[in-house]
Amino acid sequence: MLWGDTVNCIRRSLNWAPALLLAAPFACSAQSAAIIAKQLAGSPEEFVAMAPADPIQSATHSKSALLPVTLEKRADGRFGWQSPIAVEGSNLRFLVFSGDQTWNVNVQDPVSKRVQPAEQLAISKRRGNFGISDNGFAADAYTFENVPRGEWNLGIEAKSGGRGFVLIEGEGSERLMAHQVAFNQRVGQRIGMIASVYDLDQSTVAIGADALSQVMLSVTSPSGAISQHPMFDDGMHQDGIAADGVFGADFLADAAGDFNAQVIVKGISRSGQSFMRSSEHLIPVIEEQLRLSSHFSKATQTDANRFGLGIAVETAKSSGHYRTYAQVWGSRAGVMVPVAWIGGMSELSKGNLELALDARWIAKAGAQAPFELRDLRIEDPDHFISVASASKIAVTMPTLPKSARTPIASISDEMRMGVRPAAIQAKGTGTKLLLVHGYCSGNAWGGVAGQFSNSAVFQDFNQNRSHDAFARLIQSFGNTWNSFGVVAHSQGGAASLHLYNFYWSGLDNATGSRLIQSVGTPYRGTALAGNSAALGSVFGVGCGTNANLTYSGAASWLAGISTASRAKANYYTTSFTDRAWLWDYCNVVTDVLLTDPEDGTTEQTYGQLPSGVNRGHKTGWCHTSGMRDPAQTTDSSRNATMSANAAR
């Protein structure tokens, strides 16, 4: 499975000297690299790990509320906005996002009734940056202590109109849980959202409708149009059982692009306090791309051990690649038994996508004809949204080779990844440790590159790539050498794992203890991705939205990463220095949204990679420079450990 539509870029990259690669940004596009996909497979014991992501497992659990602000002209000629806000405890924190506008913020408490400038009443006002990357959204963070509970009024005044947001942290124990009903994000589909509120301290039982005064779904389409959808707990809006505390609503995905869905709830807590919560969801929608044209596959033997299984599709596209997955089942003593799962990135060729099966999986299962594929799914490679699926496809096999009847002692790499292509052995010369940055990032490793022996800095600075596009760029850059290992920051860790899992590269030639090492990678997503997309709908997103970094997008991605590949990733997490007598954080702005412990971008919980190698959590280090503690990439002790143990 070879595709490489811009050979000149590859030829140019192979001719570059290593010194030039270190000095100049990597210029090839994400589609430039000639690349060979692995033919993946695994045992039936991995069926659960490779199953489609369950939306409930990637739900947001929100403790805050993001309020849109639109300044309107008043009678005195100035512009203003006002909203009641619930102060649930003795402390209050909120963020004001005004872009490049100058806003005057005032507050009115329920006891004195006085309208006061927020910065005079607050114990602190700090300027910070909200986002996943170096290019986030500036915000003013206001902190208040020992204030009366109840309903306050928050007001904003300015000399001109404008739009922005206020993000309010809830001090109470109420949490809003919200997620999609299904990951069916194709044009023409109705996208369902469900939500419930629970009390973190008392129980996880949903708070009923009698305690909630508003449950609303607000959707911003790719065109910027905003629609409002009331959410119901009536059993008729994809919400399950009526009156169970779970609310539902849906909207029509009428165009391709990114939709921003916001769930907003208002209510009264069990202690009688008002509260408000919201959760923000980035939902990419793609065009219908193909459909199955047959529920039958004829296997063709391609070498002594392997078969190709063609999947016929109807599509207007002439080329491209898709992520595929299917379970193989066969017969044993008249009963259907699982043989293996197969999949990977498959290239579209003449109306077919091809999967591959090693006959030794048949031997391991002791199976024979008839064979069939089950739970087939075909997904786009950038968002992992299903474009076609089938519960069952019949497979006609030729006469089975000897390897399908010979018992095997162990599962080989060739059974898991396919035949190693000869071209991998011929690519580049020498060995190297690649230092890979993250999403929309500057040179995170540049200042400490000298702490890593025999290393080269990958440079695709301040760019937004899907995991697949990012991985293909790393592969192209790594072609300069025969073998390489990776030390990565943030999204770079996920992209490197994606590369190893799906494509042949110099990673497969590397020797050493740790093939991939990462710091601060949100393997299971970050809450900032959804909120950054919402903020970007008003202010614009310089680097663009990235659905792979949301909770739901990360879950869908992981559903295609084998446990064998995950075991090659060694990961570290960090968080701020925790002082019992101080309010601690990495980023005063993102702290309102994230759940401790976190590094200002990645929460420790969501930095975990199931079946990966957890190398530990360390306090006193934040995600990037400019945060309260030093950037995690500058930890010389950890860097020395990673350099010494890195494969190359």
Please check the confidence at residue 11 and state whether its pLDDT lies above 80. Answer: no
How far is it, in rounded angstroms, from Cα 24 to Cα 18?
10
Q: What is the mean pLDDT of residues 508-535?
A: 95
Do 439 and 493 touch, CB atoms closer than 8 A? no
DSSP 122-156: SSEEEEEEESSSSS-EEEEEEEE-S---EEEEEEE
pLDDT number for residue 581: 53
How far is it, in rounded angstroms, from Cα 544 to Cα 277?
26
**What pairs with residue 140 in β-bridges?**
96, 127
Please check the confidence at residue 10 and state whether its pLDDT lies above 50. Answer: no
- 3-state helix, strand, coil split of the chain in percent (to 5) is 20, 40, 40
Please check the confidence at residue 28 and state whether its pLDDT lies above 70. Answer: no
pLDDT, tens only, 138-167: 999 999 999 999 999 999 999 999 999 999
Q: Report residue 4's pLDDT band, with 50, 70 and 90 as the boundaries.
A: very low
Please check the confidence at residue 24 and state whether its pLDDT lies above 60. Answer: no
How far is it, in rounded angstroms, from Cα 643 to Cα 625?
21
Do 292 and 388 touch, CB atoms closer than 8 A? yes
Please check the confidence at residue 579 and state whether its pLDDT lies above 80. Answer: no
Residue 137: name the closest of 99, 87, 95 by CA.
Answer: 99
Phi-psi region of 178 (alpha: psi -120 to 50; beta: other; left: phi over 0): beta
Q: Report residue 541's pLDDT band, with 50, 70 and 90 as the boundaries.
A: low
Quickly count: other Cβ atoms within 10 Å of residue 24's Cβ: 10
Q: Rounded to the nearest 5°, which phi and psi values hold at 476? A: -65, -45
Q: Rounded to the nearest 5°, which phi and psi values hold at 44? A: -60, -25
Q: Report residue 203's pLDDT band, with 50, 70 and 90 as the boundaries.
A: low
For the chain, give the percent of residues with pLDDT over 90: 84
Encoded amino acid at 429, one letter: T
pLDDT, tens only, 462-475: 999 999 999 999 99
pLDDT number for residue 461: 95
pLDDT number for residue 522: 98
Compute the mean pLDDT over every residue in the chain, rounded to the nearest whole number.
91
**What pairs with residue 631 in β-bridges?**
622
pLDDT, tens only, 414-456: 999 999 998 887 778 999 999 999 999 999 999 999 999 999 9
For the chain, give the percent of residues with pLDDT over 70: 93
- Pairing between β-strand 455-457 and β-strand 431-436 as defined by DSSP bridges: parallel
Do 432 and 648 touch, CB atoms closer than 8 A? yes
Q: Report residue 29's pLDDT band, with 50, 70 and 90 as the boundaries.
A: very low
How far is it, in rounded angstroms, from Cα 81 to Cα 73?
9
Residue 238 CA: distances (Å) to CA of 59, 204, 246: 16, 21, 9
pLDDT number for residue 3: 39
How far is it, in rounded angstroms, from Cα 420 to Cα 436?
25
pLDDT, tens only, 320-378: 999 999 999 999 999 999 999 999 999 999 999 999 999 999 999 999 999 999 999 99
**What pairs with residue 83 in β-bridges?**
154
Q: Is 462 exposed, middle or buried (0-12, 13-18, 19+ CB in 10 A)?
A: middle
Residue 126 CA: distances (Å) to CA of 278, 446, 611: 23, 29, 40
Q: Report residue 584's pLDDT band, with 50, 70 and 90 as the boundaries.
A: confident
Q: Which is more confidently placed, 456 or 12?
A: 456
Annotate 502-517 with b (16+ C-beta within 10 A) or e (fewer).
bbbbbbbbbeeebbbb
Q: Highest-confidence range of 6-10, 203-207, 424-428, 630-634, by mean pLDDT? A: 630-634
Please check the confidence at residue 18 and state whether its pLDDT lies above 70. Answer: no
pLDDT number for residue 57: 92
Q: Report residue 173's pLDDT band, with 50, 70 and 90 as the boundaries.
A: very high
pLDDT, tens only, 39-66: 999 999 999 999 999 999 999 999 999 9
Do 523 and 493 touch, CB atoms closer than 8 A? yes
How far is it, in rounded angstroms, from Cα 183 to Cα 552?
9
Q: Which of 55-69, 189-203, 450-464, 561-575 bottoms out in mean pLDDT, i.e. has the lowest?
A: 189-203
Please check the confidence at residue 491 and state whether its pLDDT lies above 50. Answer: yes
Q: Which is more confidently placed, 393 or 579?
A: 393
pLDDT number for residue 5: 40
pLDDT, tens only, 211-239: 999 999 999 999 999 999 999 999 999 99
Q: What is the mean pLDDT of residues 502-510?
A: 97
How far is it, in rounded angstroms, from Cα 403 to Cα 412?
13
pLDDT number for residue 609: 98
Q: Which of 4-8, 14-18, 432-436, 614-618 bottoms out in mean pLDDT, i.e. has the lowest?
A: 14-18
Q: What is the DSSP letter of 503?
A: B
Q: What is the mean pLDDT of residues 118-137?
A: 87
Do 516 and 486 touch, CB atoms closer than 8 A? yes
Encoded amino acid at 55, one letter: P
Do 197 and 265 touch, CB atoms closer than 8 A? yes
User: How many Cα atoms occupy the beta-carbon half-sphere of 327 within 13 Å?
Assistant: 22
pLDDT number for residue 582: 60
Structural tokens at position 585: 């954080």
Do 108 and 153 touch, CB atoms closer than 8 A? yes
How far is it, in rounded angstroms, from Cα 423 to Cα 575?
42
Q: How many degrees, rounded to 5, is the angle at CA 280 between CA 276 and CA 282?
A: 170
Please check the confidence at residue 2 and state whether its pLDDT lies above 60. Answer: no
Question: Is 0.75 surpassed by the pTM of this model?
Answer: yes
How far is it, in rounded angstroms, from Cα 607 to Cα 385?
23
How far is it, in rounded angstroms, from Cα 65 to Cα 36?
46
Which segments of 486-526 does DSSP mark as H helices, in order?
Answer: 491-502
Residues in the chain: 648
